[in-house]
Amino acid sequence: MALYVLQQIVNGVSAGSLYALMAVGLAMIFGILRLINFAHGDIMMVAAYFATFALFAGLPLPAAVLVMTVGTILVGLAMERIAYRPIRGAPDVATLLTSFAVGQILENGVLLTSRLAGQPIQIAFPAPPGLDGVVALGSLTVPRVNVASFGSGIVLLVLLSLFVTRTRLGLSMQAAADDLTAAQLMGIRVNRVVATAFVIASGLAAVAGFLYASQAGQINPYLGFTPVLKAFIAAVIGGFGSLTGAVAGGYALGLLEVIPTALAGIADILPPGSVSPAVHDLLATLFPAGLASYRDAFVFVFLILMLLFRPNGILRATREETP
Amino acid sequence: MLEVRALEVAYGSIRALHGVSLDVGHGELVAILGSNGAGKSTTLRAISGLVRPRAGSIRFLGRTITRAAPEEIVALGISHCPEGRRIFGRLTVRQNLVLGGIQRPWPEVRRDIDRMETLFPILRERLNQAAGTLSGGEQQMLAIARALMSRPRLLILDEPSLGLAPLVVEQVFRTIAELKGEGLTILLVEQNVHHALDVADRVYVLETGRVTLSGPASELRHDPRIEQSYLGR
C-alpha cells in the first residue's frame, strides 16, 4: 500500500517537473511582457521534432540534445523578433491572438517540413537507449524517463533560480518584470532582457519537449497543446508571473493529477480484511476503477476553484500593487 | 549642460508640451514648478527617453539626445529618479542598488554600495531586506541612492517629497542640499514650492505645457505669480 502511494507520488513529481519547466517559461515571458504565450507548447513541439530528426540523422544523444536546444532557442528568438517585438505594448487581446497565430504557423510549418521529408503525421520517437526501461529503487520500479525528467527538472530549475537571483542579467529580468519603466530608467536594455527570457523559456521548453516525446513514444505537430494548457494551469496555481510560483504550481499540478489515478479502484488494492466490508463498499462507490479517466476534469475543476478563491496563486494571498 | 529647446510632446492627439525650453548649467540646481498636469513629468520623461518628442531638441553635454533610447541616456550620465519612487519592491535593498549601477563595472558597483551606506545610513541595516518593506521615506532614500548608483552627471528628481510626512520631507531636502553641495547638477520637479525655492538656484514655472515664468529662485521667492500658477488663477 505504502509502496503504491509512493509509486504515484514519483509519477506525480516526474510529470510535475515537465509542467514546471514549461510553466516557468510562460511565467517569465508574462512577467516582462504581459504576454500569455500560447505558442510556448509549439516551441516544445518544435524541440521534439529537432530531436527526432537529429536522432534520425544518426547523431549521438548529447549531440542531438545540443542541436535540439540550439535550434529551439533560435526558433524562440525568431518568434520574439518577428512576431512579438513589433506589437510590444499592444492591447492584451492583440498579443494573445498573435501567440495563437504563431502557434498555428509553427504547427503548419512543422507539418509541411515533416511531409516534405517523407514522414507521416505521427512519427515514432527514436527513444535514446539510455532512456529506455526502468530503474529499480528498492522495490519501486520507475521508468528511466521519469527519473530523467525529475533530475533534469530539478537541476535546470536550481540553475535558473541561481541565474535570476545571483547574476546582474537575472536581476535585470526580475526588475523588468516588476516595473518595466523603472527598469528602463536604470539603463537596463529591455530588448536584451526580453531576448534572454525567450532564450531561457525556449531552452527549458526544449528539454521538456524531449522528455515528453520520450515518455509518449511518438510525436505529432499538435503535441504541444495539452502541455501548454497544463503549464498555464500550473502558472495560475502559482500566481501568474511569479517564477517560484510557476515551479510550485507545476509540481502541485503533477501531484494533483495522480490523485484520481491513485484513488481509482483503491478498494481493491487495500489488503483484504484491513477495512470493514461497509468501508470497502463505500470506497468502491466513491472511487470506482474508471475514476482515472476523469483526471483532466478533476484538474480543471481545481483550476476553477483556484481562480475563484485564490486568484493570486497558492503562494501569494494578495499582491500588493505599488503605485 | 542640458539644453531643451522648443520641446513638443503629444500623447495620441493630446498635446502635453507646447514648446518648452529650459537650460541646466554645471553644478546648478534647477527646479520646475507647476500644478498637476502642467507637463512637468512629461518634460522629464522626454529628457530621459521614455517618451519621444514630436518636435524640438534636447542636448546634453553638447550631444543631441532627442531620440536616444533610455539606456543610452543613462550611459551619457543622466539619472532619472521617477515620481512615486518606483523601487523594485520584491527585490532587496542591495539588489535595487545593484540594478541602479547596471551599466557599470562590478567592482565599482560594490564600492558604490559602500558609499551609499555612508551617505544613507538608514539603508545600511536594511541591505538584505525586501525594498517593499521599507517606510515611504526610506523608499525615497533608496530611490535616490539607486539613481546615484549610475554615477550621474545630471540627477533628475521627480516629486521626491510626494506622500511623505513633513519631518521626512525635511530629511529628503537636506539630502538634496548635500548632493548639491558635493557639486552634483540636479533638475528637480516639486509640488512643495517653498522647499523647492529654498534649495534651487533657478526656477521654471510650467503651465499647461508652456514655460510661463523663469528666473533665479531668490528673485521669484516672493513673486505672487508663483502662487497664482499653482492655484490655476
Contact, B187 vs B24, CB < 8 A? Answer: yes
Interface test with A, best of B86, B93, B128, B154 (most A CBs within 10 A): B86
CATH of the domain at B159: 3.40.50.300
Residue at B37 is within a domain:
yes
Element (H, E) at A215: helix A190-216
For A187, which DSSP code? Answer: T
Q: From B144, which residue of chain A is nearest by alpha-carbon distance?
A: A186
DSSP state at residue A322? P
- B233 to chain A, closest Cα gap in Å: 30
Query: Which pLDDT score, from 0 to 100, does residue A1 have?
Result: 65
Q: What is the pLDDT of residue A322?
A: 37
B221 located within any domain: yes
Query: And the C-alpha cell for B103?
Result: 551599466
ipTM: 0.92
Domain count, chain B: 1
Q: Which domain holds residue B9?
A: 2-85+154-231
Inter-CA distances, A162 with A159, A167, A170, Å: 5, 8, 8
Which candidate from B50, B74, B88 shows the least CB-CB separation from A178?
Answer: B88
Chain B residue with Cα closest to A176: B88
Q: Which helix (H) or strand (E) element contains residue B108?
A: helix B106-119
Q: Do A186 and B87 touch (CB under 8 A)?
A: no
Contact B102 A187 (CB under 8 A): yes
Give me the residue label for grid cell 502558472. Answer: A235
Could you write out the DSSP letters of every residue in B78-125?
EEEE-TT----TTSBHHHHHHHHTTTS-HHHHHHHHHHHHHH-HHHHT
Q: Is residue B138 domain-resident? A: no
Quote the CA–CA distance of A175 and A166 in Å, as a whole number.
13
Q: Which domains does chain A have, with CATH numbers?
A: 2-309 (1.10.3470)
Q: Which of B70, B34, B40 is nearest to B52 (CA)?
A: B70
Residue found by looking up cell 533530475 in the block: A151
Chain B residues with CB under 8 Å of A179 CB are 86, 88
Which residue is closest to A184 within chain B, CA to CA?
A: B70
Cα angle A231, A199, A66; round to 5: 95
Name the one residue in this structure whose C-alpha cell is 545630471. B154
Record: contact B82-A171, CB cut-off 8 A: no
Nearest to A39 by CA among A78, A90, A89: A78
Per-residue pLDDT of chain B (233 residues; tens, 9 = 90+): 999 999 999 988 888 999 999 999 999 999 999 888 889 999 999 999 999 999 999 999 999 999 999 999 999 999 999 999 999 999 999 999 999 999 999 999 999 999 999 999 989 999 999 999 999 999 999 999 999 999 999 999 999 999 899 999 999 999 999 999 999 999 999 988 889 999 999 999 999 999 999 999 988 888 888 777 765 54
Tell me which amino acid residue B160 is. Answer: P
Interchain contact, A188 vs B102, CB within 8 Å: yes
Distance from CA of A243 to the nearest CA of B (A): 12
**A2: how many CB neighbours lie within 10 A of its CB?**
6
